[in-house]
């Protein structure tokens, strides 16, 4: 099952690593990730993940992180090919 989430992060050191690490170790495979500056002092991360586990559960686990201001579960993604956008994460 694929899930799409939009996550608002604080600009704290390690926030991105902490968030991606949680996604990974909670049993969700990261298919793509887009990271951009957000209005105010923060960052916006859009992720697509696949897992048998529910997207709503991942949302709640993400929102438990101090660095995550909110996480929205988007409509289930379509069957289009994954567009890995890790480059924007690494730049």
Partner 1 sequence: MMASVTETTDAPANGGQTAATPVQSGSQLLIDALLRNGVRHIFGYPGGAIMPLYDALVGSGLSHFLCRHEQAAALAADGYGRVTRKAGVCIATSGPGATNLVTGIANAFMDSSPMVVITGQVPGPLQGTDAFQEVDIFGITLPVVKHSYIIREVAEIPRIVDEAFHIAESGRPGPVLIDFPKDISVAMHHGPVVTERFEFRPPVPDTGSLRAANEMLATARRPLVIAGGGIDISNSVGVFREFVQRSGLPVAATLRGLGAIPTDHPCFVGMLGMHGNAAANHAVQNCDVLMVVGARFDDRATGQLKTFAPSARVIHIDIDPAEISKLRKADVAVVGELEPALNALGHEVHPRQSWIRQCRAWVKEFAWRYDAPGQGIYAPRLLRDLSRAGEESPLIACDVGQHQMWVAQHCQFDEPSKHLSSGGLGTMGFGLPAAIGAKVARPDSNVICVTGDGSIMMNLQELATLRRYDIDVKIVLLDNSALGLVRQWQEIFFAGNYSEVDLSDNPDFGAIAQAFGIQSRCIDKPAEVDGALEWLLGTEGSALLHVKIDPMENVWPLVPPGHANHKMMKAK
Binding positions for partner 1, 22-51, rule CB under 8 A: 22, 25
Q: Which of 87, 22, 25 is nearest to 7 (CA)?
A: 22
Q: With the CA atoms of 80, 86, 87 and 88 taken in that order, what torsion angle do they form, in degrees rounded to the nearest 10?
A: 90
Closer to partner 1 by Cβ: residue 20 or 38: 20
Choosing from 1, 60, 76, 85, the residue that interacts with partner 1 (CB under 8 A) is 60
- By the rule CB under 8 A, 65 interacts with partner 1: yes
Say how many C-beta atoms besides its own lie within 10 A of residue 85's C-beta. Answer: 13
H or E element: which one contains 88?
A: helix 86-90
Q: How far is the CB of 17 from partner 1 (least distance, A)?
A: 6
List residues near partner 1 by CB under 8 A. 13-14, 17-18, 21-22, 25, 54, 57, 60-61, 63-67
């Amino acid at each position: 099952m694929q899930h799409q989430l939009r996550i608002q992060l604080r600009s704290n050191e390690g926030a991105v690593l902490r968030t991606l690490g949680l996604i990974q170790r909670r049993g969700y495979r990261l298919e793509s990730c887009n990271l951009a500056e957000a209005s105010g002092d923060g960052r916006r991360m859009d992720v697509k993940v696949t897992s048998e586990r529910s997207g709503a559960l991942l949302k709640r686990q993400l929102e438990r992180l101090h660095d995550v201001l909110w996480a929205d579960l988007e409509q289930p993604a379509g069957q289009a090919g994954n567009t890995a956008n890790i480059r924007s994460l690494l730049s």
